[in-house]
Amino acid sequence: MIQQTTETGLAQQVGRVLGSLIGLMTQYSTRELLCLMQREDLSLPRLTTLMMLSRRGAASVSDISEHLNLSLGATSHLVDKLVDAGLCTRAEDPEDRRQKHIALTDAGRQMVDEVRRLRVEEMARRLEGLPEPLLASALDVLTAMDAHLRANDTDGTGKHG
């Protein structure tokens, strides 16, 4: 039940509910995701990098470093592993040869697609028992929220401003 009517109060309440729901759904898909990560020798920072590159497109090592909150050296090593695994490419910036652009390969895109597929399948399996009107309402609301947030995502990171 809604207890506050201010925009901030509602945003906080929705944030709490979404956080709880995302936590629950993440818990459900963790086992399958961990199996995939182990099978593919993917650490969480490597997987996070693949997901970031999928959302943003090519990025510099310093962009990845900032996103992961890792040192440039650690990030460079992480990128080396992804390149060696055939999941990413590293190319020089034609305007500044000191800069490297990191991008997903087809294999990297397939890995991201597999992660997303696992998550969606597990979520769908868990949601199947809910009443259809509730699912339809949730779909409408979540689709509208997704569209609004994406339209206001100015830098591709999910941060506004």
Q: Is residue 12 part of a domain?
A: no
Distance, CA of 41 to CA of 155 (rounded, Å): 30
Q: Please report, for the domain that includes residue 133, its CATH number.
A: 1.10.10.10
Nearest of 60, 34, 58, 56 to residue 47 by alpha carbon: 34
Q: What is the pLDDT of residue 31?
A: 86
Distance, CA of 36 to CA of 49 (rounded, Å): 16
Q: Is residue 97 part of a domain?
A: yes
Q: What is the pLDDT of residue 157?
A: 52
pLDDT in tens, the chain (161 residues): 455 456 679 999 999 999 999 898 888 888 888 999 999 999 999 999 999 999 999 999 999 999 999 999 999 999 999 999 999 999 987 887 778 899 999 999 999 999 999 989 988 998 999 999 999 999 999 999 999 998 987 655 554 43
Distance, CA of 109 to CA of 30 (rounded, Å): 20
Q: Is residue 117 part of a domain?
A: yes
Q: Is residue 93 within 8 Å of residue 101, measured between CB atoms? A: yes
Domain count, the chain: 1
Domain containing residue 39: 31-150
Strand, coil or helix: what is 60? strand
Nearest of 138, 141, 159 to residue 150 by alpha carbon: 159
Q: Is residue 144 part of a domain?
A: yes
